[in-house]
Amino acid sequence: MMIATCLSYLCRIPSIKRFLMRRLTSSFPQNPWTAVKGEVSNVRPDCEKTTSVIPFQLDVGFTEKLMAKCKFEGVTLHAAFQVATMAAMSDFLGSSPNTQWTAMTTIDMRRLFPDQLTAQHVVQCLGGVEVTHRLPLEWKENFWQCAREVGQTLRCNMHAAVLQNMKTSEIAVKCNISLEDFVKCSQNGSRNHCYMSINNMGNCNFLNRHDQNVVHLKARFGGSSEHEFGPTMASSVTTLQQRINWSLLYFKNVTTKEEAKNVAQGIREALHLASAHL
């Protein structure tokens, strides 16, 4: 009993706690952001109060051009944004070509089942479709091939992810949504209702539309221990009034506003480069 008490006390000491957490997670792939910036040691538990959002918008002309290019190349808009963000992060961090980038997709359940799900439900999104990719050095020449691979992998993993989430969530049972309908709707809606997190740098996000012209990103986070090991940025993209809107969320105790703006500008430049020849 005394030994257990001593161990419990030692685990509360921040330096020892960080050491133990590093040992436990040493087998996981290292986040490229922490590999360059270093691990965060002063993470506060009130994560939601230490975040900021930078909204961006692409004009109507470029939105039409990019969406036409996506359709011509046979890729989803979100897959294109995923590759553009991988490229922007790689350029910003100066990471090696062997760096692994994780794409995680979530589905807004309320938009798929508006009659059964309302704002009172705690569970807003279905998550868990996660795949890992390496961005090749020649990504500029192979941008659309990379996007096709990302999109195809996400689609292939969608069914298994839905089944896994259904097993661990009671939301569908409570709202009288059958497994078959849920899988069918999630697959049909995945093209338009997926939000992405870059390199595990954020958790499930969903959009609140206050009016016809404003897109506001509201973020929900898990335990603070996850953030200590590098989830520092999340990106969400949607189309509204014939424009592409996206928001870049970052943790202020990890990332500066200038750094976040540089990454967002890199995303914009990568998309312009990919759509230059239509």
Kindly list the domain boundaries of the chain, sorted by start residue: 48-274
The CA distance from 204 to 196, in Å, is 8
The CA distance from 272 to 69, in Å, is 11
The CA distance from 42 to 18, in Å, is 11
Task: Return the bridge partners of 219, or none.
Answer: 205
End-to-end CA distance of the chain: give it in Å, rounded: 71
* pLDDT at residue 63 in the model: 81
- One-letter amino acid for residue 135 of the chain: L
Tokens representing 21?
């957490």
* pLDDT at residue 103 in the model: 59
Between helix 77-93 and helix 60-73 the angle, nearest 10°, is 100
* pLDDT at residue 15 in the model: 58
| Nearest alpha carbon to residue 198 among 77, 36, 123, 87 | 87
The CA distance from 125 to 127, in Å, is 6
* pLDDT at residue 240 in the model: 54
**CATH 3.30.559.30 at 48-274, yes or no:** yes
Dihedral (C-alpha) 189, 55, 74, 212: value to the nearest 10 degrees? 50
* pLDDT at residue 25 in the model: 41
* pLDDT at residue 144 in the model: 92
Dihedral (C-alpha) 166, 190, 246, 79: value to the nearest 10 degrees? 120
Task: Return the bridge partners of 247, or none.
Answer: 55, 236
- Mean pLDDT per 10-residue section of the chain, whose length is 278 residues: 55 55 44 52 47 73 85 83 82 72 59 64 50 78 88 69 60 67 54 35 30 29 29 52 66 72 86 79
Q: Phi and psi for 198 in degrees, rounded to 5?
A: -95, 125
